[in-house]
Amino acid sequence: MNRRTASSPAEPRLVRYWNTRNAVALALFPLSLVYCALMRLRRMVYGWLPARRVPARAVIVVGNLTVGGTGKTPMVIWLCRLLAMHGYRPGVVSRGHGGRRDHARALLVTPESDPAHVGDEPVLIAARTGCPVVVDRRRPRGARLLVTELGCDVVVADDGLQHYALARDVEIVMIDGARRFGNGLCLPAGPLRESADRLGDADFVVATGRAAPGEFPMELVAPVAIKVADPSEAQPLKSFAGKAVHGVAGIGNPERFFTMLEAARIRVDRHAFPDHHPYRAGDIRFPDSLPVLMTEKDAVKCRAIADDRHWFVPVAAAPDEALAPAILSTLQAVSSLHSLR
């Protein structure tokens, strides 16, 4: 089974051309040059202007260079837990992609927040970390709220690599180890938001799956499935082995989710949706009694329309064991530097 019931009206058609330098990519190459030049100019302008600094011990940016899923959200969750374990008080600021764009002020996100209003990833991060999470179109404003009103001493900027208005101390760039940078071209001819040489400025480069020299490898582990309608009910993912299921994924890289399920010997009828898709009941209710496995990010939007067939599969970041002490050491150095100012 390999049926797809939904697709983005534009993105998947382009994604198919982003892995090679084919005729479509070459036709879009002039636009790619313009886009890349504009991004370089934008970064230069922000380099001339004073970025807004918040009174935190450190601001850590987690982002990527490419369009699509690279494991940013699991990394943010892992990072917040790491920081909390070592005595820091982390908070997360996010743009709130997938939520409404009419926010005139910073909004505090809770596990009960409406994903249609604040975005699906912030709700997921709030639920998984217990840390303060704020969404704001103006990241410096949201970061300041975390520090001055919510008691955070480290700000984690989710998907903030290209948002230079907020001064940052540490950059963590995520890479899909399998897809890497596709054909190496910038949008719209390729998947790059910025040219790949931007990696040279990052403090840490983390690759999900295969890692190149100088990168930290990270695996995504998913040992259990949890019932969407009743999160107190869970079972090992391996209990679905050998069974047919509907797989639902509305994330940046749905193939990774489906491949993960198939690696657990689950027979998957694939249903890929655009990233941040606003689900309706008809999207996840199928005319049979097969179980439905979805991502955790999708589940936060499906709580009101799920029944006993629907399960989500939370993934956790498992980075190379050398990454944690390296981040903590860098953070200590940054904190010491700030204390001298």
**Does residue 59 contact residue 218 with C-beta atoms inside 8 Å?**
no
Encode pLDDT of 112-127 as tens digits.
999 989 999 999 999 9
Instruction: Look up residue 213 and give its two tokens.
Output: 């020299």
Encode pLDDT of 217-255 as tens digits.
999 999 999 999 999 999 999 999 999 999 999 998 899
> Residue 192 has what DSSP assignment?
B
Q: State mean pLDDT over 300-310.
A: 95
Instruction: Look up residue 199 and give its two tokens.
Output: 């990696």
> Residue 337 above 70 pLDDT?
yes
Whole-angstrom Cα distance, residue 319 to residue 238? Answer: 22
Helix ranges (DSSP H) in 189-279: 254-263
Q: What is the pLDDT of residue 253?
A: 87
pLDDT higher at 260 or 339: 260
The region that residue 24 occupies, defined by phi over 0 for left and psi between -120 and 50 for alpha, beta otherwise, is alpha
Q: State mean pLDDT over 282-302.
A: 96
Whole-angstrom Cα distance, residue 160 to residue 7? Answer: 26
Average model confidence (pLDDT) across the chain: 91
User: At 51, is the pLDDT very low, low, confident or very high (cuts 50, 70, 90)?
Assistant: confident
User: At 103, is the pLDDT very low, low, confident or very high (cuts 50, 70, 90)?
Assistant: low
271 - beta bridge partners? 248
Q: What is the pLDDT of residue 102?
A: 52
Encode pLDDT of 143-201 as tens digits.
999 999 999 999 999 998 999 999 999 999 999 998 899 999 999 999 999 989 999 99
Encode pLDDT of 7-26 as tens digits.
443 445 667 789 889 999 99
Q: State mean pLDDT over 277-301.
A: 95
Q: What is the pLDDT of residue 310?
A: 98
> Residue 145 has what DSSP assignment?
H
- Percent of residues, the chain, with pLDDT higher than 70: 93
Whole-angstrom Cα distance, residue 108 to residue 142? Answer: 9
Q: What is the pLDDT of residue 1?
A: 46
What does pTM read for this prediction?
0.91
Q: What is the pLDDT of residue 6?
A: 46
Range with the poorest average pLDDT among 105-109, 234-238, 243-247, 294-298: 105-109
Whole-angstrom Cα distance, residue 109 to residue 121? Answer: 10
Q: What is the pLDDT of residue 281?
A: 95
Whole-angstrom Cα distance, residue 317 to residue 315? Answer: 7
